[in-house]
Chains A and B, each alone.
Chain A
């Protein structure tokens, strides 16, 4: 059974601190996505990771992909309140099939 697991499910962190969200998936894929969802809103694309060892950075967020370990990480550097949201990873397979993790709800507190 194909599974995408995120850890942690809930994360409360202080402003200025660093933390990492993990995304494990059970079946080999060469394509991994990270999305952000604000409360009551739709999903917004953050990163697309296309190959083993891929690393992408945007502001305080950095995503990486290890296809051999079937693991992606989303690293948050010096968190600020604006980063409070729910973050989803997703993997895709032939034919436009997408599987999402259950999401990580991040709250950044002063």
Chain B
């Protein structure tokens, strides 16, 4: 079954304690993205990747890091989480052409609800 998986699904942590949210897709997609969803703001893109070792900032990258060492995985790293990073996070993947050509839409993971105290 084609899917995007994220772990953990729920996480409560404290300010400053480094954490990683994992994301994996089994569709051999070149493109992957991370989003945060906040009430009244829709989804905002944090980082995206167009292939292995190719990443770029989205709309709200501050306080986040990503890496793409393998095609299927795209972890999101919060080096020093703060309360304003409390949010619902989604990972997504899409096929070649991504936002410029082709017809692939994004496939979203189930989401990770993060609370930073």
Interface residues of A (CB under 8 A from B): 4, 31, 33, 41-45, 48, 50, 88, 90, 92-103
Distance (Å) between the CB of A58 and the closest chain B CB?
13
- Interface check B12, CB cutoff 8 A: no
By the criterion CB–CB under 8 Å, are B48 and A103 in contact?
A: no
Interface flags for B58-74 (1: CB within 8 Å of A; 0: not) read: 11000000000000000
Which residues of chain B (77-103) have a CB below 8 Å from chain A?
90, 92, 94, 98-100, 103
Interface of A: prevailing SS: strand
A sample of 13 more A-B contacts (CB under 8 A), given A33-B106, A98-B33, is A44-B108, A45-B106, A88-B43, A90-B43, A94-B99, A94-B100, A95-B100, A96-B99, A96-B100, A97-B58, A98-B106, A100-B44, A102-B41
Residues of chain B contacted by A98 (CB below 8 angstroms): 33, 43, 45, 48, 58, 99, 106
By the criterion CB–CB under 8 Å, are A43 and B90 in contact?
A: yes
Residue among B45, B58, B105 making CB contact with A48, cutoff 8 Å: B105
Which residues of chain B (13-29) have a CB below 8 Å from chain A?
none
Complex Cα distance, B44 from A100, in Å, reads 7
Distance (Å) between the CB of A44 and the closest chain B CB?
8
Residues of chain A contacted by B99 (CB below 8 angstroms): 31, 92-98
By the criterion CB–CB under 8 Å, are A96 and B50 in contact?
A: yes
By the criterion CB–CB under 8 Å, are B48 and A42 in contact?
A: no
Distance (Å) between the CB of B76 and the closest chain A CB?
16
Residue among A44, A88, A95 making CB contact with B48, cutoff 8 Å: A95
Residue among B49, B50, B56, B90 making CB contact with A42, cutoff 8 Å: B90
